A = this chain, B = another copy of it.
Amino acid sequence: MTEIYMDHAATTPVRPEVLEAMMPYFSVEFGNASSIYSWGRRAHHGLDQARDTIAGLIGARPEEIVFTASGSEAANMALKGAAWGLRSKGNHIITTAVEHHAVLDSALWLEKNGFEVTFLPVDSEGRVSPEQVRDAIRPDTILVSVMHANNEVGTIQPIAEIGSVVKESGALFHTDAVQTMGVLDIDLSRLDIDLLSFSAHKFYGPKGVGALFVRKGVRLDPLVHGGAQERRRRAGTENVAGIVGMAKALELAVAEREVEVPRITKLRDQLIRGLREIPHTRVNGSLSERLPNNVSVCFEFIEGESLLLNLDMRGIAASSGSACTSGSLEPSHVLLAMGLSHEIAHGSLRLTLGRENTENDIEYVLNELPDIVHRLREMSPLYDK
């Protein structure tokens, strides 16, 4: 049976080269990286090398990389760590209405615990502007968090410009780069970014490993207290294999980016063009400032989950911002923030491309989808031919 995975924004397979780099650290070089004997030193060496590699690839210093267990943990650490660490300076936080729940829910929790949060609205393409950020900044603003690119609709935010605005104010700037790491060029030596989150499993590394870049001089309260790991910023015996895997994955992603990004952008545009031919279909997000692998559309009159189930039966893995697939009762907060109605937001479909996808896959999807959409519309009480 045909099996086409088009949900690379959700997660990616571990590349064989990555798994190979990880293997020695499970059962052979298994030492605790904090131990001073040879097993420990060899594990620590693996950790150091991984840290150097990652730092080098994003224009950071090794000591500015704090390893975490996920993008979510990194984002939580950025928001809560900054909030708790800077409470004496102010209690106002700015973020956007289209952040991933890791940022959004951290902000909401802080709001419940004595902080004030401004959630900036976005335009119909999902963008915030540096001016909006400038206008929202107050003397007591301690942190601004704006994602690099949106995981649902693929819209890229002007983080360089926003960073400059935030820097002027003296607040910290966090960006959630979970969707862009390894895909877009990120050079932290040239960007006014204090905190940056990313997650290995989004770029063909293992699940359960993430990192937070913490610019030198920035003080956060830890999220996980305990041992002296990660320069006392994040306790817990280090996941050496996972971290080594993340470094290898990022190295490969960056090395292949120049070839892979244009390839995948072409496939993406081909897919978008094809989907547009289905009537009553709208493309979500910016067409110009867009992740190279993201296709997000809404089909009117139908609901996302039933669409996904039908796609799955034809071997296509995709995702939707439909309420039914998010474990909540509301459809995607991102699509709603962009001004879509509930009804239309329920009919969203996200296809995110990856290394294994080919032109054949695009053709297959474009062949199957119109039929599925048609079938579901025929069944829909909202559809009036």
Residues A36-89 near B (CB distance < 8 A): 36-40, 68-73, 75-76, 84
Q: Let me know if A226 and B317 touch, CB within 8 A.
A: no
**Closest beta carbon of chain B to A303's beta carbon, Å:** 13
Interface 0/1 of A16-48, CB less than 8 Å to B? 100100000011101110111111100000000
On chain B, the residues within 8 Å of A113 by CB distance are 84
Q: Does A267 contact B (CB under 8 A)?
A: no
* Contact among B14, B15, B30 with A12 in the assembled complex (CB-CB below 8 Å): B30
* Contact among B35, B101, B108, B223 with A223 in the assembled complex (CB-CB below 8 Å): B223
**Closest B residue by C-beta to A102:** B226
**Closest B residue by C-beta to A325:** B36
On chain B, the residues within 8 Å of A196 by CB distance are none
Q: Let me know if A235 and B105 touch, CB within 8 A.
A: yes
* Contact among B30, B103, B328 with A14 in the assembled complex (CB-CB below 8 Å): B30
Q: Let me know if A236 and B69 touch, CB within 8 A.
A: yes
Q: Let me know if B36 and A309 touch, CB within 8 A.
A: yes
Q: Let me know if A201 and B305 touch, CB within 8 A.
A: no
Cα–Cα distance between A247 and B248 once the two chains are bound (Å): 27
**Closest B residue by C-beta to A238:** B207
Q: Does A318 contact B (CB under 8 A)?
A: yes
Q: Does A10 contact B (CB under 8 A)?
A: yes
Q: Let me know if B26 and A242 touch, CB within 8 A.
A: no
**Closest beta carbon of chain B to A208's beta carbon, Å:** 3
On chain B, the residues within 8 Å of A240 by CB distance are 207
Q: Does A199 contact B (CB under 8 A)?
A: yes
Q: Let me know if B19 and A26 touch, CB within 8 A.
A: yes
**Closest B residue by C-beta to A76:** B224
Q: Does A127 contact B (CB under 8 A)?
A: no
Count this chain's copies in the assembly. Answer: 2
**Closest B residue by C-beta to A311:** B37
**Closest beta carbon of chain B to A115's beta carbon, Å:** 13
On chain B, the residues within 8 Å of A73 by CB distance are 69, 224, 236
* Contact among B72, B105, B319 with A35 in the assembled complex (CB-CB below 8 Å): B319
Most buried by B among A70, A226, A317, A328: A226
Q: Let me know if A226 and B101 touch, CB within 8 A.
A: yes
Cα–Cα distance between A7 and B28 once the two chains are bound (Å): 14
Q: Let me know if B328 and A71 touch, CB within 8 A.
A: no
Cα–Cα distance between A138 and B201 once the two chains are bound (Å): 46
Given contacts A37-B7, A239-B69, contact A227 B102 (CB under 8 A): yes
Cα–Cα distance between A228 and B324 once the two chains are bound (Å): 12
Most buried by B among A34, A75, A208, A309: A208
**Closest B residue by C-beta to A324:** B36
Residues A162-215 near B (CB distance < 8 A): 199, 201, 206-210
**Closest beta carbon of chain B to A36's beta carbon, Å:** 6
Q: Does A146 contact B (CB under 8 A)?
A: no
Cα–Cα distance between A312 and B180 once the two chains are bound (Å): 44
Most buried by B among A16, A26, A103, A221: A26
Which residues from chain A sit less than 8 Å from chain B, CB to CB? 5, 7, 10-16, 19, 26-28, 30-32, 34-40, 68-73, 75-76, 84, 100-106, 108-109, 113, 199, 201, 206-210, 221-228, 232, 235-242, 305, 308-309, 311-312, 316-319, 325-328
Question: Nearest 7 pairs between A and B by C-beta?
Answer: A208-B239, A69-B69, A102-B226, A70-B236, A228-B327, A105-B225, A72-B236
List 8 interface pairs A-B (beta carbons < 8 Å), by A numbering.
A7-B37, A11-B31, A38-B312, A39-B317, A73-B224, A207-B238, A207-B242, A208-B241
